[in-house]
Amino acid sequence: MSEEDSLITLVDENGNETLYEILFTFESDDYGKSYILLIPAGTQPEEQVDVLAFSFDPDENGEANDAELHDIESYEEWDMVEGVLDTFLNDENMQ
């Protein structure tokens, strides 16, 4: 994934655009979905930020480029995503 491919622009309900960097993507066999986790572009490694998480429809190459993002709707799904994020943040080999 190139630097340009690792960025996504989200538009809020007021039409404001914010650039985000793709932290990582993963698939869940349990939910049959692909997920994407985003952080604000330009975030420094030591900086604390909120991580945004969505499910998405991958393109023909399995990537999140121009993908349609979907809100995560159930508590069980959120728990699974948080577990994957915790594993990512605590495993130096994954970063």
pLDDT along the chain (95 residues), means of 10: 73 93 94 95 88 90 77 96 94 62
pLDDT the model gives residue 34: 95
Whole-angstrom Cα distance, residue 35 to residue 85?
11
pLDDT the model gives residue 1: 47
Which structure tokens are listed for 83?
């577990």
- The answer to whether the beta carbons of residues 58 and 52 sit under 8 Å apart is no
Whole-angstrom Cα distance, residue 69 to residue 43?
21
pLDDT the model gives residue 91: 81
Q: How many CB atoms lie within 10 A of CB 83?
A: 10
